[in-house]
Amino acid sequence: MDFTKPWTRIKTGLATGAFGIVLMYFSIPIAPQTIVDFRGYAVLLAVHFGGIYSGFIAAVLIAAARIALFGGPNLSAFIGAANVLFIALAGGLVLRSADKRYWSRWAKMMAVLLVTTGASIFSAIGTTSLPIMPVILGTLAVGGFFIGYMVDYIVRAHQLFLLMKEASHVDFLTGLNNHRTFDRLFNELVQAADRKQEELSLLTLDIDYFKKINDTYGHPAGDAVLQQIGVLLRDSSRRMDEVCRTGGEEFAVLLPDCRREEALHYAEQIRSRVERHSFLLGDGKAIRLTISIGAATFPQVSPDLLIEEADKALYRAKHNGRNQVC
């Protein structure tokens, strides 16, 4: 979820605000018209995930609910409403500070929660709050540590999930789409081309004498070549094109809404650009190399045969002397 988007921040504020209202239904009365609960946690969560704007939305909802639903307008209700608004403001300022360490920021926001809650309780019922203040603040501190730990764990787990999800469809070496993604995109684009009555071209590419590069300069040099080929293919393609690494030194480019003549033109541009490029190896050496490219276009070729026909064209380019487009 992208928390930089305004609508996402609004939804975060509304959700955490509703969560805070629910928490107030489990409040504990400590004096007439005065209650304590964990509503401040909801505001901290809103601030942590959505920033000061989400925190302010959550705080406004909770403050309004405190006044309207839990005892009506009274001094304690107004103090409680001011408390959550101040937590949102101060927590947002902590989040915007230069300190980006998670536990440092969470500890500072918890300190804000404890100080403002303690001050609010004291303002509402005076010195009669002193005997129970350590219990209340201690409970909030322990609960805050537990929530902080759970938030940290969930965020880290989500980040790991996103990395694994990306790794499942991106080639780790070149950053291009991998073979699994190529298969999915191929089916999707063929269906889209058929539905829109458009042409879809496929280029299959293979680096000439790549094994010789690995044998002569080593596999790290071969990896450097593959990475640079990936960059050249991305830079030579249109925004709508899908560039994939489908094997060791094999690549494919899917060209939506592209006639065969245009595909051959793009392929020749790629071939020429690779031929002119100096490929830098890890030891500072530079080498030149070439690629061979095969092309096929739907609907002139059926979807079931499109990959096969592009591969046949690639083999013809190899057989005819390499460094050419067929």
Q: Domain ranges in the chain?
A: 6-167, 179-319
pLDDT band at 1 (very low <50, low <70, confident <90, very high): low
How big is the chain, counted in residues? Answer: 326
Residues with Cβ < 8 Å from 222, sequence gap 6 or more? 210, 213, 214
CA distance 66 to 73: 9
User: Over 70: is that where the pLDDT of 175 sits?
Assistant: yes
User: Over 80: is that where the pLDDT of 89 sits?
Assistant: yes
256: preceding bond cis by omega (within 30 degrees): no
What is the rounded average pLDDT of the residues 154-163? 85
Name the percent of the chain lying above pLDDT 70. Answer: 99
CA distance 94 to 152: 17
Rg (CA), the chain: 31
Strand partners, 280: 286
Using CA atoms, how far residue 257 sits from 28, 39, 144, 200, in Å, is 66, 55, 55, 5
CA distance 63 to 59: 6
Answer CATH for 6-167 from 1.10.1760.20, 3.40.50.300, 3.30.450.40, 3.20.20.70 = 1.10.1760.20
**Mean model confidence pLDDT for the chain:** 91
pLDDT band at 3 (very low <50, low <70, confident <90, very high): low
> Exposed e or buried b for every residue in 198-222, given b needs 16+ CB within 10 A?
ebbbbbbbbbbebeebbeebeeebb
Q: Say how many C-beta atoms besides its own lie within 10 A of residue 7's C-beta.
A: 8
Quick check: 203 and 293 in contact, CB under 8 A? yes
CA distance 282 to 218: 10
Catalytic position from the list 166, 198, 199, 249: 249
CA distance 80 to 63: 7
CA distance 249 to 254: 17
Residue 37 backbone phi and psi in degrees, to 5: -160, -165
The phi-psi region of residue 254 (left if phi > 0; otherwise alpha if psi is between -120 and 50; otherwise beta) is: beta
Residue the block writes with tokens 């002569």: 216
pLDDT at 13: 93
Which candidate, 57, 59, 62, 54, places its Cα nearest to that of 25?
A: 62
Query: pLDDT tens digits for 21-67?
Result: 999 999 999 998 889 999 999 999 999 898 889 999 999 999 999 99
Q: Which of 40-54, 96-110, 200-214, 250-264 is least confident?
A: 96-110
Strand partners, 177: 170, 244
User: Over 80: is that where the pLDDT of 4 sits?
Assistant: no
Answer CATH for 179-319 from 3.20.20.10, 2.60.120.380, 3.40.50.300, 3.30.70.270 = 3.30.70.270
pTM of the model as a whole: 0.63
Active site annotation includes 249: yes
Residue 71 backbone phi and psi in degrees, to 5: 100, -10
CA distance 52 to 46: 8
